[in-house]
């Protein structure tokens, strides 16, 4: 059962929330620390936002945890992020199970270090039967790469004679993305103030409502999430159509 706080009474809760968690490094610098301090505190925001979304009855939460382009960061920062991710995967299992969360991941997972993949596989397997919110981490993820992978898989099916090119439609493409069958995000939140989508879920966000906040990810906690949901709730989503009375 969803547990809605008074500040969100009557609000429409988005079914699928996607988040570009930006600003860890800048936040750490503002505090006089190294960038990795920001990532550590960002992991705390991940915990709090996940727990709160599950409590509110959100069906799916997709977090951009590591982009395909993040591999270009200095080796030390990449290594730190991988260690943090591995630790998170182990430490969060209890919380994931207690909250009936089904854990999944999207991206070119095969590019992750073997020890991270092992923990990832275990967390996915352990939570497979859970029936509550789906928590999806985008890891080594890029939307253009996802589309290229989908097109390649579709082309293979055509070559094998299992698919007629004339039958390819939007559903064919959606069905070959990393999370086939997942509903598109209703709300995309970006922290850190930059107004761009940074190669995240390009196909899936065609009609998604966008919320950009200058708040840096380590400071994006429960109350900030409520603000985003309230704003979303007031929006008039027309999906390219007009309202009947117009």
Residue with tokens 């960061």: 73
DSSP element (H, E) containing 60? strand 60-67
217 or 232: whose CB is closer to ligand FPP? 217
Asked if 192 is part of the footprint of ligand FPP (rule: CB under 6 A), the reply reads: yes
Contacts of 200 (CB under 8 A, 6+ apart): 18, 20, 64, 67, 138, 141, 143, 188
**Residues of span 132-191 touching ligand FPP by CB under 6 A:** 137
Asked if 42 is part of the footprint of ligand FPP (rule: CB under 6 A), the reply reads: yes
Asked if 21 is part of the footprint of ligand FPP (rule: CB under 6 A), the reply reads: yes
Query: What is the CB neighbour count within 10 angstroms for residue 70?
Result: 16
Task: Rule CB under 6 A: choose which of 24, 99, 104, 208 binds ligand FPP.
Answer: 24
Q: What b/e string do you get for 175-188 counting C-beta neighbours within 10 Å, with b at 16 or more? A: ebbbbeebebbbbb
Please identify every residue annotated as catalytic: 22, 70
Asked if 14 is part of the footprint of ligand FPP (rule: CB under 6 A), the reply reads: no
9 in helix, strand or coil?
coil
Q: How far is the CB of 203 from ligand FPP (least distance, A)?
A: 22
User: Which of 54-62, 81-89, 119-127, 162-170 is the region at the interface with ligand FPP (rule: CB under 6 A)?
Assistant: 81-89
Query: Residue numbers of the site for ligand FPP (CB under 6 A)?
Result: 21-26, 35, 39, 42-43, 46, 65-66, 70, 84-85, 88, 137, 192, 217
């Amino acid at each position: 059962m969803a547990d809605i706080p008074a500040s969100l009474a009557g609000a429409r809760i988005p079914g699928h929330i996607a988040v570009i968690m930006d600003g860890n490094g800048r936040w750490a610098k503002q505090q006089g620390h190294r960038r990795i301090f920001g990532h550590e505190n960002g992991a705390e925001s991940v915990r709090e936002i996940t727990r709160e979304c599950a409590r509110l009855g959100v069906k799916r939460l997709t977090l951009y945890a590591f982009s395909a382009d993040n591999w270009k960061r200095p080796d030390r920062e990449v290594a730190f992020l991988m260690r943090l991710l591995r630790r998170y995967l182990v430490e969060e299992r209890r919380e994931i199970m207690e909250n009936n969360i089904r854990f999944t991941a999207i991206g070119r997972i095969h590019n992750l270090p073997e020890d991270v993949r092992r923990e990832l596989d275990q967390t996915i397997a352990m939570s497979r039967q859970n029936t509550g919110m789906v928590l999806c981490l985008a890891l080594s993820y890029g939307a253009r790469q996802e589309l290229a992978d989908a097109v390649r898989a579709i082309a293979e099916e055509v070559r094998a004679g299992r698919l007629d090119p004339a039958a390819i439609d939007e559903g064919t493409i959606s069905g070959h993305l990393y999370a086939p069958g997942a509903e598109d995000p209703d709300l995309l939140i970006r922290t850190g103030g930059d107004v761009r989508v940074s190669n995240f879920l390009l196909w899936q966000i065609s009609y998604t409502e966008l919320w950009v906040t200058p708040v840096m990810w380590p400071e994006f906690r429960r109350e900030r999430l409520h603000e985003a949901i309230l704003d979303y709730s007031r929006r008039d989503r027309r999906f390219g159509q007009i309202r009947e009375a117009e």
